[in-house]
Amino acid sequence: MHDQFITAGGHRLKVRLLGDIVADAPTLVFLHDGIGCIDMWQDFPAQIGEATGLAVVMYDRLGYGGSDPLPAPKKIDYREDEARALIDILDALDIGEAILIGHSDGGAIGFLAAARYPERVRAIVGIAPHLANYPNMDEVMTEFVARFEKGRLRKSLEAFHGENTDGMFYGWADAWGDPAFAAWQMSAEIAAIRCPILFLGGAEDDYGVREGAAELERMATAPHEVVLLPGLGHVPYHEDRDATLKPILAFLDRVLAAVDDDRLDAPEAVGA
């Protein structure tokens, strides 16, 4: 395990690397949720890295964990900035191709990056990805803000985000609460993705997972799978690790088999 700081999007971001990046293999890149960070993944990325033999990269987005604080309030299109910062990180680490694994807000950023930069994304796993601003999100965000301001949630998040905690939380909550954000959705981006997609969620998740799955089925033109795990909610990898890992590893096995097939079909391999 190696932690370092990288300049991406003009800001200093904390990055954690597990394993060695290999030029001719994709790297697993994990994108945390709206109030998450590197450490809040726990050992979930390491398990996937060990099972696949691929290097793992995690990073704290701007304003989160050990990265620079937010310089200004987030705009409603902040995911565009996050997608560009992701490419800066890939460039800084000499990662040619990534498999993106994103949770919630991180899943949305991964979908956007896959649509905008198809040559850099081999596949994407979206864990409860937010693909639109769903009708009940106003209530959800009101509840989150109330919990934060009562103190217990703030104290819990301070253990991970330190001095970034208030800026991180309100940057996220205020963007979602902006009236202009009500019409936000990613239908065009979903349709533009060309790599394989796994949409994974908990069947009991009330944060738009069923609507997101339906939108993916309606708009996706790339190969895609939808798995909704019975009895699980918004953070399935903490609620039932084995049940969450099983479809992810099966999906990645198929993706990596296709990577090997591409190598065999390459001109230098055919002519060898």
Global pTM reads: 0.94
* pLDDT at residue 1 greater than cutoff 60: yes
What contacts 233, CB < 8 A, 6 or more positions away?
202, 204, 205, 206, 239
For residue 167, give Cα distances in angstroms to 64, 74, 118.
Answer: 9, 10, 32
Task: Return the pLDDT at 264.
Answer: 57
As a whole number of Å, the end-to-end CA separation of the chain is: 37
Mean pLDDT of 67-72: 95
Pick left, alpha or beta for residue 25 (phi over 0 → left; psi -120 to 50 → alpha; otherwise beta).
beta
- In the CATH scheme, what architecture does the domain 2-270 have? 3-Layer(aba) Sandwich (3.40)
Question: What phi and psi, each to the nearest 5 degrees, are found at residue 38?
Answer: -50, -55
Task: Return the pLDDT at 270.
Answer: 43
pLDDT band, very low/low/confident/very high, at 18 (cuts 50, 70, 90): very high
Nearest-5° Cα angle at 112, 218 to 136: 60
Task: Return the pLDDT at 251.
Answer: 98
Question: What phi and psi, each to the nearest 5 degrees, are found at residue 122?
Answer: -80, -35
Query: Distance (Å, rounded) from C-alpha 19 to C-alpha 3?
Result: 12
Query: Distance (Å, rounded) from C-alpha 25 to C-alpha 80?
Result: 26
What contacts 44, CB < 8 A, 6 or more positions away?
237, 238, 241, 244
- 3-state helix, strand, coil split of the chain in percent (to 5) is 50, 20, 30
Pairing assessment for the beta strands 11-18 and 27-31 based on DSSP bridges: unpaired
Report yes or no: 48 and 252 within 8 Å, Cβ to Cβ. yes
Residue located via tokens 């000499």: 94
Mean pLDDT computed over every residue of the chain = 93
Q: Which pLDDT tens digit goes with each residue over 150-208?
A: 999 999 999 999 999 999 999 999 998 888 888 899 999 999 999 999 999 999 998 98
User: Domain residues of the chain, as ranges?
Assistant: 2-270
Mean pLDDT of 89-105: 97
Tokens coding 233 = 């909610």
Q: Which pLDDT tens digit goes with each residue over 49-68?
A: 999 999 999 999 999 999 99
Tokens coding 121 = 């994304």
Query: Distance (Å, rounded) from C-alpha 178 to C-alpha 78?
Result: 12
Hey, what amino acid is at 19? Answer: G
Report yes or no: 126 and 102 within 8 Å, Cβ to Cβ. yes
Report yes or no: 212 and 202 within 8 Å, Cβ to Cβ. no
Task: Return the pLDDT at 62.
Answer: 97
Higher-pLDDT residue of 45 and 134 is 45
